[in-house]
Amino acid sequence: MTWVITRMCRECVDQSCVDVCPVECIYAFKGTDTVAFPNQLYIDPEECIDCGACEPECPWEAIFEDVSVPSVFQEDTALNAAIRENKDDFIVPEHEPKDAPTPEAVEENKRKWGLGA
């Protein structure tokens, strides 16, 4: 199994998960095709060791085990895997601390992406 960062990370990109990943398998896209790879973080499924350290660190609740990804986010599993074919356009980002979102902001983000709260 592996972990998947879903679109709930888009434009939020907290990066707290990056600091706790023991194998540095969480990446940011630095290429130009932002339609194919929107502004969010991605987990390389072949590098992920399934430790789960990233999931509780995400204040946006955007990270799921691949077998538990909500159906509304199923295509995000393939999107995370697609970084393998474009690895030169990805980097392990330096963590830039951000203010934690409010519970209301997290719930609004879930509704925005169709998760329902």
Give the model confidence (pLDDT) of 27-72 as tens digits.
Answer: 999 999 999 999 999 999 999 999 999 999 999 999 999 999 999 9
Query: What domain range includes position 87?
Result: 3-110
Give the model confidence (pLDDT) of 64-117 as tens digits.
Answer: 999 999 999 999 999 999 999 999 999 999 888 889 999 999 999 999 999 875
Residue 102 lies in a domain: yes
Query: In which order are the strands placed within the sheet that holds 90-91?
Result: 41-43, 26-29, 90-91
CA–CA gap between residue 49 and residue 36 (Å, rounded): 25
Give the total number of structural domains in the chain: 1
pTM over 0.85: yes
Residue 87 lies in a domain: yes
Residue 115 lies in a domain: no
pLDDT of residue 116: 72
CA–CA gap between residue 5 and residue 98 (Å, rounded): 18
Decide: helix, strand or coil at residue 45: coil
Q: Are the CB atoms for 86 and 93 separated by under 8 Å?
A: no
Residue 117 lies in a domain: no
CA angle, 105 as apex, 99 and 111 as ends, to 5°?
145
Residue 116 lies in a domain: no
- CATH of residue 47's domain is 3.30.70.20
Decide: helix, strand or coil at residue 28: strand
